[in-house]
Amino acid sequence: MLTQETIGALKPFEKKLYLASPTMHGEELSYVQEAYDTNWLSTVGKNIDESERMIAALIGCSHAVGLSCGTAALHMAVKLAGERLYGMPRPNQGTLRGKKVFCSDVTFDASVNPVAYEDGEAVFIDTETDTWNMDPAALKEAFRIYPEVKIVVMAHLYGTPGKVDEIRAICREHGALLIEDAAESLGATYQGKQTGQFGDYNAISFNGNKIITGSSGGMFLTNNGEDAEKVRKWSTQARENAPWYEHEEIGYNYRMSNVIAGIIRGQIPHLSEHIERKKEIYERYREGFSNLPVSMNPYDEKKSEPNFWLSCLLIDQEAMCRTVRGEREALFLPETGKSCPTEILDAIRLLNAEGRPVWKPMHLQPIYRNNAFITAKGNGRARSNAYIAGGEIPDVGADLFHRGLCLPSDNKMKPEEQDRIIEVVKACFM
Ligand SMILES: *Cc1c(COP(=O)(O)O)cnc(C)c1O
C-alpha cells in the first residue's frame, strides 16, 4: 500500500516519462528532406519503394505494401481473405456479411475492427498464460462450436510472439486463413523467424508509439504477388487501367505518404538497437521486482525472442488488494502488503510517468459485448457476465486485465529514472 509519507516524498520527473514514444536518430530527416527536394510529396516515391523493400527483406515476406496505418493493412487483409473465401460482394456490402471470424481477445481494438468494417462478426478467443496471446485450446474449442469459420486473426501482444505453430496447425486442419497482426511485434522472432510472415496476410504498424515509427503508417505483407497487387490497387482508390478514372470496385485512400516513408526508411536500420534497449528495460524491471509478489509479461524462451516493446507487470492473486472497475473508473481498498494496478498506476502518475492497464479484453468492451467469446472450456460469455456481477474471474483475459499493467518502457528512459519507477512500485507493496 502506498502511504501518505511515500507520496509526500515523491519528486516527480521534470520531463514526463512515456510508455513508448518515438526515438529519432537524424537520418530520418535526410530522407524527408530528399522527398521535399525531389518534390515526391505524394504517395509515390523512393522512400516508399525503399521502405517496402527493406521491410520485405527484414521480415522474409515476398511483398510489402506501404499503407497509411496498420489498421488499413488489417482492413485490406480481412477484405482480401473475405473475397478469396466468399467471393466479391455487391458494392455496398462487406465481404464478410454474416460470417464469423476468430480473433484475439486481449489486443488493441484495431486488430478486430476491420472485421466489422467488412460486416463480419468477430468471435473472441481466450488468452493463454504462457505468452498472453490466443489460446490454441480455446481456438480448437471455437472450431468445434463454429466449424464453418474460415478466418483467424491473431495478434502478438506487447511484442511477444504467440503460439504460432499450434495456431497454424489448427488453421490448416480447418482450412482457415490466418491473418497475423504483428503491429506490436516488429522485429520479434518465433523459431528464428520474424513475426509478420506466418499468416496468409500480415500487418505491421509504424504508429508513433510502436518500436519504430513513421509518425504513422503501416504495411500489408504477403507472399502472394497477386494479392499484394490487389492491395496496391484498392489502397489507391481502385482505379482501373484506363485513360480516365474508371472504377469497377470500391476503393480506399490508404496508401503511405512518401514523407512518412522517409521517417520509416531512416528508422528501419535502428530496429535492432531499439529492441536491445527495450530488452534491457525489461530485464532491469524483472531484476528490480524479483522480491515482489509479481511477474513480468512471460514469453517462451526456447521458441521466441520478443521485441520487448512494452514491459508489463502481473500482480500475484494473493497480493491483490480489493478492487473493482466500472466502465470508466476504478476503486480499490488500500491494504498493507498488497496493491493493485490502479494504485500502482496512480503512483507512477505521481512521478510524472505514464503507465496503462493491460489492454481491456475485447469481449468486455461495450461495442463487442454481444459477440461470442470462447474459452478452452467452451462458451465463456455466461461466466463473463457472472464476473461483471461480482463473481469469480472466469477467463484468462479478464484476469490479466484485473491484475496486470504496462510500465513506462520508453527507449530514452535512463536507468536511474527506471530505478525510481521500481522503487515506487515496491512502495506499493509495503
Ligand atoms: C497499433 C496497433 C494496431 C494499429 O496500427 P495503427 O498503425 O495505429 O493503425 C493494430 N493492432 C495492434 C495490436 C496494435 O497495437
pLDDT in tens, 331-368: 999 999 999 999 999 999 999 999 999 999 999 999 99
Q: What is the pLDDT of residue 385?
A: 63
Among candidates 173, 408, 140, 404, which has minimal Cα distance to 297? 404
What is the atom index within ligand 1 of the atom nearest the CA of 111? 11
- The stretches in the chain having pLDDT less than 70 are 383-391
Q: What is the pLDDT of residue 196?
A: 98
Q: In angstroms, what is the span from residue 196 Cα to ligand 1's centroid?
A: 13
Grid cell locating 362: 475485447
Q: What is the pLDDT of residue 89?
A: 82
| Whether the CB of 205 sits within 6 Å of ligand 1 | yes
| Whether the CB of 181 sits within 6 Å of ligand 1 | yes
Q: What is the pLDDT of residue 389?
A: 58
Q: What is the pLDDT of residue 380?
A: 86
Does domain 4-22+271-428 correspond to CATH entry 3.90.1150.10?
A: yes
Contacts of residue 238, defined as CB under 8 A and 6 or more positions apart, other chains included, come to: 247, 248, 249, 250, 251, 252
Q: Whose alpha carbon is nearest atom 11 of ligand 1? A: 111
| Whether the CB of 182 sits within 6 Å of ligand 1 | no
Residue 20's SS3 state is coil
Identify the CATH class of 27-270: alpha beta
Among candidates 17, 22, 23, which has minimal Cα distance to 414? 17
Q: What is the pLDDT of residue 394?
A: 79
| Whether the CB of 195 sits within 6 Å of ligand 1 | no
H or E stretch covering 266: helix 258-267
| Whether the CB of 66 sits within 6 Å of ligand 1 | no
Beta bridge partners of 119: none
Beta bridge partners of 125: 104, 374
Q: At 420, give phi and psi (nearest 5°).
A: -70, -35
For residues 253 and 234, what is the distance between their CA atoms, to the nearest angstrom? 8
Q: What is the pLDDT of residue 384?
A: 66
- Around Cβ 406, how many Cβ atoms within 10 Å? 22
| Whether the CB of 186 sits within 6 Å of ligand 1 | no
- So where are the chain's domains? 4-22+271-428, 27-270
Q: Would you give the distance in Å from CA 2 to the centre of its chain?
A: 31
